[in-house]
Amino acid sequence: MSDILWCLLLTILGVEFIIGIFGNLFMAVVNIMDWVKRRKISLMDLILTALAISRIGFVGSLFTAFLIFIMYPALMMNEEMMNISNISWTMINHFSIWLATCLSIFYFLKIANLSNSLFLYLKWRVKNVVSGTLLLSLPILCINIIVINMNIAVWIDECKTNMSFNSVSNDYVQFFKISLLTNTIFTLIPFTVSLITFLLLIFSLWKHLRNMQHSAQDSQDVSTTAHIKALHTVVTFLLLYTIFFLSLALQSWKNEVLYKNLIHLCYEAAGLIFPSGHSCVLILGNTRLRQTFLSAMCWLRCRLKMLNS
């Protein structure tokens, strides 16, 4: 039974990896081709392109680390390999999450309808707000990397004291848990920002619908549709983000041998839903990307029919 579950979870991980890589690759290629063709790119498309590229690196790094730990577990305990893998994953994870947060901020500032003077000031400077958000996230990234490096230094000192393989393995499990806990805490900041934008979008929609009722107009106007579409995108992001956050939290709490049990594999599969599933949501939620995807599928279907005939 456990072998069947193991194979099933590995299959799910493989499917998530393929969707994550090709979904984000499709999004990046379509936007870059459109950028080259028009010689200009909108802020939203620029955020989507940067997000897609970071997600490709995110999914690729997760899958690579998983394969290395399965095939060459001792390699992951090498000091140099630990520095490279942990710092690179922290950076990729940081930009992946903060770019998604910037997308939520963009939707909020572009679509929400509030009379607050601060909101109006930010609304007219949405490009500066997005750029400023990314710049302000860099000190957070630096602090995160410093904490991770301190954890690595402590782990190396422990290894020098306890030279047996079992002690080193146990110390590595503890280090892995602390690193995950550190990254989980740092992901709370962009999650909170995205949650605030979501709540403000709901408040803006509520105010808009109330005004429409008072003026006896049709509630299904352009602004309402835009609000609902943005809310769908942001709420899906938050749900997937929550699953990813919980998978990190549970991995940092669970005291088990890494990558050697079904429960941990479940956490891995749950965590990979976020970068893979969110790319599908973004493609389906964007009219141009959705139409391009459907056209590509029709072309591929026709080519397959021609080859089979």
Residue 276: what pLDDT?
Answer: 87
Of the candidates 65, 155, 131, 51, the one whose C-alpha atom is nearest the C-alpha of residue 93 is: 51
Q: For the chain, what is the mean pLDDT? A: 80
The reply to whether 296 falls in a domain is no
> Is 165 domain-assigned?
yes
pLDDT band at 259 (very low <50, low <70, confident <90, very high): very low
Among the listed residues 196, 192, 229, the one whose alpha carbon sits nearest the alpha carbon of residue 119: 196
Contact 75, 81 (CB under 8 A): yes
Band (258; pLDDT cuts 50, 70, 90) = very low
Residues ≥6 apart with Cβ < 8 Å to 277: 19, 236, 240
pLDDT recorded at residue 137: 93
| 264 lies in some domain | yes
Sequence-separated (6 or more) residues with CB below 8 Å from residue 270: 243, 244, 246, 247
Alpha helices in 39-125 (DSSP H): 43-71, 79-111, 117-123
Three-class secondary structure of residue 152 per DSSP: helix
| pLDDT at residue 247, as a whole number | 77
pLDDT score for 77: 66
Check whether 1 has a pLDDT greater than 60: no
Distance CA(159)–CA(303), nearest Å, equals 57
CA–CA separation, 116 vs 278, rounded Å? 31
Residue written as tokens 């599933």? 277
Check residue 46 and give its pLDDT.
93
Rounded to whole angstroms, how far apart are CA atoms 169 and 174? 9
Burial code of 47-59, b = ≥16 C-beta within 10 A, e = fewer? bbbbbbbbbbbbb
Residue 255, CA distances (Å) to 158, 170, 171 in order: 18, 10, 12
Q: What is the pLDDT of residues 217-232, one digit of tens each?
A: 555 566 667 667 777 7
78 within a domain of the structure (yes/no) = yes
The CA distance from 151 to 234, in Å, is: 34
Average pLDDT of the residues in 228-255: 75
Mean per-residue pLDDT for 21-50? 91
The residues, any chain, with a CB within 8 Å of residue 221's CB and separated by 6 or more, are 212
- Overall domain count for the chain: 1
The answer to whether position 29 is within a domain reads: yes
pLDDT, position 76: 64
The CATH number assigned to the domain holding 136 equals 1.20.1070.10
pTM of the complete model beyond 0.95: no
The pLDDT value recorded for residue 73 is 67
Contact 211, 223 (CB under 8 A): no
Say if 308 falls within a structural domain.
Answer: no
Is the residue at 187 inside a domain? yes
pLDDT confidence of residue 238: 81
Q: Is residue 297 part of a domain?
A: no
Count Cβ neighbours within 10 Å for each residue of 184-222 and write b for 16 or more, e otherwise.
bebbeebbebbbebbebbeebbeebeeebeeeeeeeeee
**Is 167 a residue whose pLDDT tops 80?**
no
Model confidence over 48-100: pLDDT tens digits? 999 999 999 988 888 787 777 777 766 666 767 777 878 888 899 899 999 99
Can you tell me the mean pLDDT for 97-112?
A: 88
Reported as a pLDDT band with limits 50, 70 and 90, residue 260 is low
Domain, as residue range, for 210: 2-285
Q: Does the pLDDT of residue 136 top 80, yes or no?
A: yes
Is the model more confident about 164 or about 215?
215
**Cβ atoms within 10 Å of 150's Cβ, excluding its own:** 12
Give pLDDT tens digits for 286-303.
888 888 888 888 888 887
- Give me 90's structure tokens: 């922290």
